[in-house]
Structure 1
Amino acid sequence: MDVCWVVESGVIGWRCARNGVVMSSGKKRGKNPSVASGKISPRGFGSRGRSGSELQVPIGDVDRSEACEELFRWLRGAGASLNRVALAEFAGMRGVMALEDIEVGEVVCSVPQEMSLKLCDGGSNPGVAAVSVLDAIRQNSSPFAPALEMLPGMDDARAITDFFSEEELQNLQWPDLVEETNKRKRTLNTVYDRTEKLRSECSWDEFLWASFIVVSRAFTLQQKSGESVRCLVPLMDMFNHSSQSKTELRVRNGSCRVIAGEKLLAGQEVTFGYGGGRLSNKRLIQDYGFVQLNNPNDASIFLGQGRSVTSPYIQQRK
């Protein structure tokens, strides 16, 4: 199974919340929760940690925004198991935090597969799925509105190479990445160019944003019929990447589950490796907009004189 990761557009008025890198406006941020007996309240209550000292793991700032609350209410109403996790901010980046200690092999959280937003056939041009994303956003009464409200914005999308100028691409000094980027843009353009209604309602950049949602956040899930379909699975697209994590995403018996591959402590960010932790920096920057320092899946990377690893558009992750 391929695991992938899904703006507020002033032009045509589509409404989606920004992601946690730029926290949503008007959100009331509480104090970092502390740990008591290996548990954290999502409301932030707690006391001193084990042995009278604070827990020695980074503790996130729990997201108490109305959009987040509505997402969790919506998912729980459909049978999702979310009591052990919360969305939180870690050093300026939104992620998923464990609310209690979780042992190896235990379910961290689960979301019914039926809650996924089906986009297109698994092998289709990502531009086709991008159109489905835009269509869902345009629906005033979309049943997936709580999930759509939590999607990242245009600023995050601009980190992927589809948004790089030709000069910036050449400055990467990464010929195969440049070739793959241009090939994908040509593929996307076949959808954008042939759809007059699409061109009249959204700009090329907005279409690229929707394709970013697809390549960075969509899952390819096998349906009961046996066909593979690209889907957006709420909450599951909010876990950050770590190639060192042993935690896994599994789909079984109609449920998308995150299974702890190592002991997780209350307050700890829960991550798993995108693509099973085997993605090269070429794939990471092309689809997700960041590079991993000392990536074991890479021999070397060259960023030339254009965007460097210190660029605000290229994030470094360990």
Structure 2
Amino acid sequence: MMSMKSPRLIILTFLPFLLLVVQISSFNLNLHQSSGAVNSAVKTRIDTRIATRIATSSSSTVLHAGFGKPSELPPNVKLSNDAVTNAFLKMLPPSQTKSTSLASIPPLNYRGVIATKPIKKGTPIISIPYTLAVDLGTESLDPIPPALHLKSLIESSAVDKRYVSVLPSSTSPDYSNLYSSWPSTSRSSLNWCHLESSRESFIERLPEPEDMYYVFLVTSRVLTVQDPEGRGRKLLIPYLDMCNHDEKSTHVLTGVAGEGGMLKVVAGKDVKVGEEITIRYGGGEEGVDEFLRDYGFDPGERGGYERFGRRVAREVKMGLNSRGGLREEERRQIRESLKVPGGGEVIEKIKREVGKVLDEIDGW
């Protein structure tokens, strides 16, 4: 991510890669076991439960629901009706948009999937053929190979342009909120590798800065789905990957990555008209770190920012001990870099927590 011409003079960026490679459990989510589907982080940095309450409140926008009885949407939920979105929706099976659609959901007007008709528990809400998914192979743990494969597919027009057009861009605030895309001045706040001996191997495998956008797409949108042989395949699944996260979602993710396979979100409860369709990205208490890294928001009110900051600081302290201490100039540079603004709300919260713990380290 950074240009590293002299490993002995530059401290390796800690977060974007060390955690990305060593702690990549969210990249290994198993859709077949419903343990967690991944969506772009991008899509929710607010509590989706608030949006759900809004979406199920008073309504006034009338939809034609069939059988002579109109359905209504909340007045502040607007269906996405721009040319790019409409073109994308046309690439999906016609039956897919009969009971759901993309919408702009208040109060932050983020994009999500909502129900446009009542949906009964046990009914498939979303069903996407495997043939529409972008299959990035069976590579596990390391997101860099599938990211470079995705880059090649997109650049060669092997991925439907209508799908590419609705993916978050490299200039979107969602991308800038992830650690892998920090400005160099912000990234330097955590420029440390806890083992000197591992530094060169990390440097050798780092992608170019322009490739980090594709790493972002992989870590924030890819789902791992079992094929008929039981191997986990890394997939980008159009439309399904636009469902936002809600830790309390009861909807079930299932499917098979193979010929004739369907990738589904099945209703875990009755769904009302105007209700947002959310899924669980995975996680649990131990998954907070990965949420913060890959999706840019804390999945629950469990002090995730503080836990993550303290974890990073412990790793920094390990590195400090392994090298016998930092020179005064190195300490000063790290301290100064923590003061650099920018990178989004999440990054600022993490930097504050890291700074608090660094204050506790002897010699700082």
CA distance in 1, matches of 2:227, 2:159: 20
Contiguous gaps of at least 5 residues in structure 2: 1-29, 32-36, 45-58, 314-337, 350-364
Q: Which residue of structure 2 lines up, in the alignment, with residue 63 of structure 1?
A: 80
TM-score (norm 1): 0.67
CA contact (8 A) 1:285 1:314 kept: no
Describe the shift of the 1:143–1:169 C-alpha distance in structure 2 as closer, same or farther (beyond 3 A): closer
Contiguous gaps of at least 5 residues in structure 1: 7-18, 22-32, 50-54, 193-203
Task: Give deviations 1:174-223, integer Å, cap 9, x for gaps.
Answer: x9xx97xxx9997585163xxxxxxxxxxx33211100100110111222
Give, in angstroms, the shift of residue 70 of structure 1.
1.7
Matches within 5 A, 1:14-93: 34=60, 36=62, 40-41=63-64, 60-76=77-93, 81-91=96-106, 92-93=109-110
Of structures 1 and 2, the larger Rg is shown by: 2
CA distance in 1, matches of 2:303, 2:268: 20
Q: Which residue of structure 1 lines up, in the alignment, with residue 280 of structure 2?
A: 273
Counterpart secondary structure, 1:104: coil
Counterpart secondary structure, 2:117: coil
Matches within 5 A, 1:94-113: 94-113=111-130
CA distance in 1, matches of 2:242, 2:200: 26
Give, in angstroms, the shift of residue 263 of structure 1.
2.3
Q: Which residue of structure 2 lines up, in the alignment, with residue 198 of structure 1?
A: none
Q: Which residue of structure 1 lines up, in the alignment, with residue 352 of structure 2?
A: none
Counterpart secondary structure, 2:146: helix
CA distance in 2, matches of 1:109, 1:257: 5
Counterpart secondary structure, 1:275: coil
CA contact (8 A) 1:291 1:314 kept: no
CA distance in 1, matches of 2:288, 2:70: 41
Task: Give deviations 1:6-60, integer Å, cap 9, x for gaps.
Answer: 6xxxxxxxxxxxx889xxxxxxxxxxx8455xxx359xxx9785xxxxx6x6852
Q: Which residue of structure 2 lines up, in the alignment, with residue 160 of structure 1?
A: 178
Q: Which residue of structure 1 lines up, in the alignment, with residue 143 of structure 2?
A: 126
Task: Give deviations 1:130-154, integer Å, cap 9, x for gaps.
Answer: 11211122124x3522211111012
Are 2:165 and 1:149 equivalent residues in the alignment?
yes
Give, in angstroms, the shift of residue 171 of structure 1.
6.2
Q: Which residue of structure 2 lines up, in the alignment, with residue 208 of structure 1?
A: 212
Q: Which residue of structure 2 lines up, in the alignment, with residue 286 of structure 1?
A: 293
Higher helix share: 2
Are 2:261 and 1:254 equivalent residues in the alignment?
yes
TM-score (norm 2): 0.60
- What amino acid is aligned across from residue 235 of structure 2 in structure 1? C
Give, in angstroms, the shift of residue 270 of structure 1.
0.9
